[in-house]
Structure 1
Amino acid sequence: MAQGLAARIYTIIPENNRLERIWLLAKTDFKIQYSSSALGVIWAFVYPLMRILIYYVVFSFVFAKDIPNYGFYIFSGIMIWMYFQEATKGGLKVIRSKRYLLENIRFNKLDVYYSSILTNLIGFLVNISVFLAMMIITGLPITWKLIYYPIFIINLMMLCLGISLILSTINVYLKDISQLWELVLLLMFWINPIFFAKQKIFNMFPALLYANPLAGIIINSRDVIMYGKDPDWFLVGYNYVLAGSILAIGVWSFNKFFHKAIEKI
């Protein structure tokens, strides 16, 4: 069913309207994720709702920590982490999984990557909506500082796009890169302030705050959405420079090796 849906959509991809093309590809991939289930895209709302309820109950009452609203604290970091993980793991496979599109349809090949990033953004926005709804229900304040949140979403998308371009090119030549990336993700999960306060690790290893491209995004996004604080603008600037540098390397590697990579598959 999923393959049939993809095949039908791919035959009507517009070649001239770029934004429509990217959106159509992203929407198709999002639908395919849930096409084999009876409830379809409703699961996109059920999963984050159940996840945040579990975190709220377990970590607010059963395993309560010194961190106030610990369940929300965790989920605010998990949202960022899940987007990063899913976007990069999906982007890693683009050249192999979207080979038909890349070879046979005339358009900017980067659009396939843009659509992959956008597909995961749809799920991310669902998570944020559920998160904010739960904050309102439980009486946590939402301040005007929330308007800063898109800054971190854009930063995260740039980072994921750059890493996806690099990994997907390497994946053609080194098939084990997906397993290696899983190990990197495992390490990154535990050196990011998702379950613990940032001071616990960054006071001991301050360099990790700048070596880790996700840490600043998680810290700043949590500060504005949960605590109504201004972001650390120096850290914002640093993270944008870092993500921009990774994206530039990704675009360069894609342009240089794409045609050779397609021939090698």
Structure 2
Amino acid sequence: MSEVQAGWSKSNPISALTRHRSLTRELTKREILGRYRGASFGLLWSLISPFLMLLVYTLAFGYILKSRWPGTNGSTSDFALILFVGLIVHGFFAECLTRAPNLILANTNYVKRVVFPLDILVWSMVLSAFFHLIANTLVLVLLKWAWHGELSWTLLLLPFVYLPLMILTLAVGWVISALGVYLRDISQFVGVLAAAMLFLSSAIVPVKSLPESYRWVFYANPLTFIIDQAREVAIWGRPPDWAMLGLYSLISALLALASFLLFQKMRKGFADVL
């Protein structure tokens, strides 16, 4: 790890992708492979798991509750695809949100090393979750092709929709992981928050079908916009709202910068607490 000798004080929000990219790559690889270590199917579970998750939700909402999405032909396959987009976007954010409080606590050996850039741990967590987001998206594309027999070129725009959410997740990761060192109870709260962000977003419920007095709660959820835009390009074959996507990206970038600076300030006391 000679590349970190420059010291954490010289780090910046993207140093994980520049000066420390090899370290980030190794930590991310360890995160991904560590999840499936000892499993018979190994990395195949990254494709099997989302497919099984889709079956459960489709059975519950599509067949048992007979839910249908406005603007579709009412088929269960269409509903399943629309639902799946919401689930994979939420799953990416929720994985990072629930892991963040214990991220530093689980790597106390790095805290004692003054020269180790702890902010990279958040990058590796987010990149690992992003790998699974891509795996889930691959399952989505395969199912859409199998059921509809065609794919839209707008699927190529999905990375541009995912990127702002990734930046926002980094911001949340830096704040929550730092707070988790000082406030151990926060890990209990984020689990409830993650569930709330699923049911109070457009992942499962079309916002336009709700009374207007409740819609603001769903639109205030930062996942709702990304889910809607992901459906635009993946399901409906339309380009995203570039203007709003740009604004979302700008706000996320500013939050990420502020969160990174807060993380760097708070990390000075990590060793005393741990």
Contact preservation (8 Å) 1:91, 1:117: no
TM-score (norm 1): 0.86
CA–CA separation in structure 2 for the residues paired with 1:153 and 1:98:
28
Contact preservation (8 Å) 1:91, 1:164: yes
Change (3 A) 1:62 1:206: closer
| Segment drifting more, 164-173 vs 88-97 | 88-97
| Superposition RMSD in Å | 2.2
Change (3 A) 1:23 1:173: same
- Is it true that 1:15 corresponds to 2:3 in the alignment? yes
- Is it true that 1:218 corresponds to 2:218 in the alignment? no
CA–CA separation in structure 1 for the residues paired with 2:3 and 2:138:
33
Q: Report the secondary structure of 1:256's partner residue.
A: helix
Contact preservation (8 Å) 1:92, 1:171: yes
Which of 105, 117, 125 lines up with 2:126 in the alignment? Answer: 117
Q: Offset of 1:210 from its aligned partner? A: 4.9
CA–CA separation in structure 2 for the residues paired with 1:145 and 1:14:
42
- Is it true that 1:50 corresponds to 2:38 in the alignment? no
State the Cα deviation string for residues 23-64 of structure 1 (Å, max 9, x = none): 110111111111132332222221112223444566555544
Aligned match of 1:94: 103
Aligned match of 1:31: 33
Q: Offset of 1:263 from its aligned partner? A: 2.0
Q: Offset of 1:260 from its aligned partner? A: 0.6
Gap runs ≥5 in structure 1:
1-12
Aligned match of 2:272: 263
| Segment drifting more, 28-37 vs 241-250 | 241-250
Change (3 A) 1:201 1:235: farther
TM-score (norm 2): 0.83
Give the alignment of 1:157-196 within 5 angstroms: 157-196=166-205
CA–CA separation in structure 1 for the residues paired with 2:256 and 2:180:
17
Q: Report the secondary structure of 2:23's partner residue.
A: helix
CA–CA separation in structure 2 for the residues paired with 1:76 and 1:149:
11
Change (3 A) 1:202 1:161: farther
CA–CA separation in structure 2 for the residues paired with 1:167 and 1:217:
21
CA–CA separation in structure 1 for the residues paired with 2:105 and 2:218:
34
Q: Offset of 1:107 from its aligned partner? A: 4.1
Change (3 A) 1:49 1:112: same
Q: Report the secondary structure of 2:68's partner residue.
A: coil
Q: Offset of 1:149 from its aligned partner? A: 0.9
Change (3 A) 1:123 1:114: same
Q: Offset of 1:242 from its aligned partner? A: 3.1
Q: Offset of 1:105 from its aligned partner? A: 7.5
User: AA paired with 2:22?
Assistant: E
Contact preservation (8 Å) 1:213, 1:242: no
Which of 143, 157, 164 lines up with 1:155 in the alignment? Answer: 164
CA–CA separation in structure 1 for the residues paired with 2:80 and 2:145:
14
CA–CA separation in structure 1 for the residues paired with 2:57 and 2:150:
19
Aligned residues: 253
| Segment drifting more, 34-43 vs 158-167 | 34-43
**Identity over aligned pairs, percent:** 21
Q: Offset of 1:65 from its aligned partner? A: 3.0
Change (3 A) 1:195 1:159: same
Q: Report the secondary structure of 1:214's partner residue.
A: helix
CA–CA separation in structure 1 for the residues paired with 2:26 and 2:2:
9
Q: Offset of 1:204 from its aligned partner? A: 3.3
CA–CA separation in structure 1 for the residues paired with 2:215 and 2:207:
10
CA–CA separation in structure 1 for the residues paired with 2:114 and 2:146:
47
Contact preservation (8 Å) 2:101, 2:181: no
